[in-house]
Amino acid sequence: MANIDQHAPGSFSWIELATGDQTAAKSFYTSLFGWEIFDVPMGPDQVYTLFQLGGRDTAAGYQLDAAQKTRGVPTHWNIYVAVTSADETAERVAGLGGTVVAPPFDVAEQGRMAIVQDPTGASISIWQPKQHSGIKVAGVDGTLCWADLNSPDRDKAIPFYSALFGWQFLPGKDGDTNGYLHIKIGEEFIGGATPSKFLPPGAPAHWLAYFLVSDCDASTEKAKSLGASVWVPPSDIEGAGRFSVLSDPQGAAFALFKSSR
């Protein structure tokens, strides 16, 4: 287990479940990952659920409100990227071909955030930390370990993220011909960009979060027994590990990953 006290700008710093059934989601993820629950009141009859491991924040979840459900907002995982200034980052989005979905706003004393979309429609959140730096633990089962951009027009999206966050999109090892690109910030590889040929026809652009597990097959079966749907069964990634793609019982997509290193 590695404790994290702060996240470098451009890195994935937080992950948050927006769900249509918060109670059911808490039951599913605590059973699957062994997460502990710490509920924080956030208004009349509402709580913000912090998921923790060993008392350290690893993710969060909240209930979609009636207005969001009316607008057709689906259950989904939000991925956050750390930035030095939410306002300055958001100001650059339109000029890079993206859209600011939610302009910068303060989250109490925890931080300042905005929600943006890349030119192909994939949404991602930006987070300027104040009292809350983000995820505080890594390297153990149930922690965020990777994220993939899945876009039908990847080449249109890549320049946006490179300019906004300073990401590099790099091919894999010599001889890797599948076209998958790795996202690098500084000296760290944090995610990837999937070639459109591997995406389901008609799938909208989106980000997919990967959670670390020690046994991909067993965790996939456990998730299935808890009501999850399996979209991609456990499969090998040469030289990296084994992964699967699922959706929780409320429909939020996520992936599991077992490293071979």
The CATH number covering residue 5 comes to 3.10.180.10
Q: Which amino acid is at 33?
A: F
Total tally of structural domains belonging to the chain: 1
Angstrom distance (rounded) from CA 65 to CA 123? 19
Q: In the block, which residue shows the tokens 């200034």?
A: 85
- Please name the residues in contact with 144: beta carbons below 8 A apart, sequence gap of 6 or more: 12, 15, 58, 59, 135, 138, 209, 210, 211, 212
At 260 the pLDDT is: 79
Q: Is 29 helix (H, G, I), strand (E, B) or coil?
A: helix
For the record, the structure tokens of 130 come out as 């104040």
Helix (H) / strand (E) containing 168? strand 168-171
What's the longest Cα–Cα distance across the chain? 56
Q: In the block, which residue shows the tokens 């999206």?
A: 157
Q: Name the DSSP class of 178.
A: S
For the record, the structure tokens of 190 come out as 């944090």
Q: Is 73 helix (H, G, I), strand (E, B) or coil?
A: coil
Domain that holds residue 18: 1-261
Task: Judge contact between 242 and 234, C-beta under 8 A.
Answer: yes
Beta bridge partners of 182: 170, 192
Angstrom distance (rounded) from CA 158 to CA 154? 6
* Average pLDDT per consecutive 10 residues, the chain (261 residues; last block may be shorter): 88 96 96 96 88 96 85 90 98 97 94 97 96 95 97 96 97 72 95 89 92 97 98 88 95 94 76
Q: Report CA torsion sign: 98, 103, 107, 110.
A: positive
| Pairing state between β 111-117 and 99-107 | antiparallel
